[in-house]
Chain A
Amino acid sequence: MNMLRRHWPWLLVLVILLAFPFLFYDWTKGRHSGFVLTLMSEIGVMAIFALSYNMLMGQAGLLSFGHAVLFGLGAYCAAHVVNMVKAGTIWLPTELIPLAGGLGGLFFGYVFGWLVTKQRATAFAMITMGLGELVSAAALMFMAFFGGEGGITIDRVMDTSLVGVRYTSPWQVYCLVLAWAFIAAALMRLQTQTALGKMANATRDNFERAQFVGYDPRMVRLMQFTLSGFFAGIGGGLYVLIYEIVTFDTVSAAKSANALLAVYIGGAGGFFGPILGTIVVVLLQSGVSLLSNAWLLYVGVLFIVMVMYAPGGLIGLIFMHLPIWRAGRMRELLLPYARAFPPALLVLLGFVFMVELASFTTIGAAQGKRFTIGGQLIDTTAPMPWVIAIAALVLGALWLRHEARGFRQRWDELMEGSKRAQATAAPKPQEAVA
Chain B
Amino acid sequence: MLQGKWFSALFGIVFAIAGGGHALAQGTIKVAYTDPLSGPFAQVGDANLKQMQYIIDYINAKGGALGKKFELVPFDNKSQPSDALIALKSATDQNMPFIMQCSGSNIAAALIDGVNKHNDRNPDNRIIYLNCGAVATELTNEQCSFWHFRFDLHVGMKAEVMVRALPKDVTKVYLINQDYLFGQSVQREVKNYLGKLRPDVQVVGDELIPLGKIKDFSPYLTKIKASGAQALLTGNWGPDMNLLIKAGVDAGADLRYYTFYAHLAGGPTAIGVGGDNRVLAVMSFGENVAPEIGNKEAEAFTKGFRDKHKFDFSAAGFRTIFEYLQAAVTKANSVDPTKIALAMEDLQVKDFLGFDTKMRKEDHQIISEYFVGIFKKGVKYEAEGTGLGWATSATILAKDVDQPNTCKMKRPSAS
Contacts and interface: CB of A to CB of B under 8 A. Distances in A.
Interface of A: 24, 26, 29, 31, 33-39, 42, 137, 140-141, 148-151, 153, 155, 168-170, 239, 243-245, 247-249, 285-291, 293, 295-296, 345-346, 349-350, 352-353, 363, 366-368, 373-374, 376, 388, 392
Nearest to A286: B86
Interface string B94-118: 0000000000011001100110010
19 contacts: A24-B19, A33-B19, A35-B19, A36-B18, A36-B19, A38-B89, A42-B82, A42-B86, A149-B105, A151-B81, A153-B110, A244-B114, A245-B109, A248-B106, A289-B78, A291-B12, A352-B5, A374-B8, A376-B4
A291 B17 CA distance: 10
Contact of A295 (B19, B38, B81, B86): B38
B18 A368 contact: no
Interface stretch (B177-185, B269-277, B362-370, B389-397): B177-185
A286 B181 CA distance: 27
A194 to B, nearest CB: 33
B13 interface: yes
Contacts of B113: 153, 244-245
Interface residues of B, number: 60
A149 B182 contact: yes
Contacts of B61: none
B309 interface: yes
A247 B113 CA distance: 13
A222 to B, nearest CB: 31
B75 A290 contact: yes
Contacts, number: 153
Interface stretch (B49-57, B168-176, B192-200, B255-263): B49-57
Contact of B6 (A286, A290, A345): A345
A39 B81 contact: no
B411 interface: no
Contact of B181 (A150, A168, A170): A150
B236 interface: no
Interface string B1-24: 110111111001100111101000
B110 A287 contact: no
Given A245-B81, A247-B80, 10 more contacts: A24-B18, A31-B122, A33-B18, A141-B210, A239-B82, A243-B85, A290-B90, A353-B2, A367-B74, A376-B4
B13 A39 contact: no
B104 to A, nearest CB: 8
Contacts of B121: 168-169
B356 interface: no
A247 B81 contact: yes
Nearest to A37: B89
- What is the interface of chain B mostly: helix, strand, loop, or mixed? helix
A185 B96 CA distance: 37
- What is the interface of chain A mostly: helix, strand, loop, or mixed? helix
> Which 9 A/B pairs are nearest by Cβ-Cβ distance?
A149-B181, A368-B53, A34-B89, A149-B106, A374-B4, A150-B109, A35-B90, A35-B89, A149-B180
Interface in B220-234: none
Interface string B366-409: 00000000000000000000000000000000000000000000
B210 A137 contact: yes
A26 to B, nearest CB: 8
Contact of B89 (A170, A285, A374, A388): A170
Given A35-B19, A150-B109, A366-B311, A140 B81 contact: no
A34 B309 contact: no
A38 B53 CA distance: 29
A388 B81 contact: no
B8 A373 contact: yes
Candidate in A29, A37, A140 with the most chain B CB atoms within 10 angstroms: A140
Contacts of B79: 249
Given A33-B18, A168-B121, A247-B110, A367 B76 contact: no
B414 to A, nearest CB: 22
